[in-house]
Structure 1
Amino acid sequence: MAEVSLDVEAPLEAVWAVLADGWSYVGWVVGASHIRDVDPGWPEPGTRIHHSVGPWPLVIQDTTEVVHCKPFHVLELDARLWPVGAARIALTLRARSASLTEVRMAEQVVRGPSTLLPKFVQDVLLIPRNKESLARLDALARGRAEHAG
């Protein structure tokens, strides 16, 4: 499992607000190029983000579904990108102070041809991507916190 973490310089509530806004995923998930729709009730289990991945016009359209959600603490997703495969992604939040939140992101390929890649190859591909995703999440959460009051 490829795991990265980052101390986000924003309160837990601001970080969660970004995760709980399905429309914001294109702003922080590396590779996401377009959000086509977000199911009502996101991020309740079973709800989905309908997204496109990749540069236009070579986009793949698929979905990401919430598997488990404990608001302000855990968001577990099943992210599909067929024909490449699908991954289970767990985002875990922990307040380190009133203005600092630790975010852990763990990703594991669970279905499709990508499961044939050795773990170290998956890590080489996923870890840098997920570090950049958390850096983008940090920027969005800081922006929300600064503009919230």
Structure 2
Amino acid sequence: MAEVSLNVEAPIDDVWAVLADGWSYAGWVVGASHIRDVDSGWPKPGTRIHHSVGLWPLVVQDTTEVVRCEPPLLLELDARLWPVGAARITFTLHARSQSLTEVRMAEQVVRGPSAFLPKFAQDIVLIPRNKETLGRLDALARGRSVPFH
């Protein structure tokens, strides 16, 4: 399982607000290029984000489904990208203080051809991608916590 973490300088509720906004995913999830639709009730278990991944014209359309949701502490997703496969992604949030949140992102390929790659090969791709994803999440969460003037 590829796992990364980042301390985000924002309250846990602001970090959760980004995770709970399915329409924001193309803005911070590396590889997501377009959100086509978000099921009503997102992020309740069973709801999905309908997304596109890749650069035009080589775009794959698929979905990401919520497996488990415990606001504002945990969001577990089943992210599909066929024909490559599917991954289980878990975001865990821990309030370190009123203005600092530790975010952990764990990803494991669970289905499809990519699941047969050795762990070290998956980590070579997933760890840098997920570090960048958390960096983008950080920027959006910090932006939410800045007072409007």
Same fold per superposition (TM over 0.5): yes
Pairing 1:1-149 to 2, within 5 Å after superposition: 1-147=1-147
**Runs of 4+ that moved beyond 3 A:** none
**Percent identity at matched positions?**
80
Gaps of 5+ in 2: none
Q: Mark the runs of 5 or more structure 1 residues left unpaired by the alignment.
A: none
- How high is the TM-score relative to the length of structure 1? 0.98
TM-score, scaled to structure 2: 0.98
DSSP-derived class of the 2:90 partner: strand
| Alpha-carbon separation, structure 1, partners of 2:148 and 2:29 | 23
Per-residue CA distance 1:35-91 (angstroms, 9 max, x = gap):
000000000000000000001111000000000000100000000000000000000
One-letter amino acid of the structure 1 residue matched with residue 109 of structure 2: V
Separation in 2, partners of 1:145, 1:43: 21
| Partner AA of 1:102 in structure 2 | E
Q: How much does 1:147 deviate?
A: 4.2
Q: How many aligned positions are there?
A: 149
Quote the Cα distance in structure 2 between the aligned partners of 1:120 and 1:57: 30
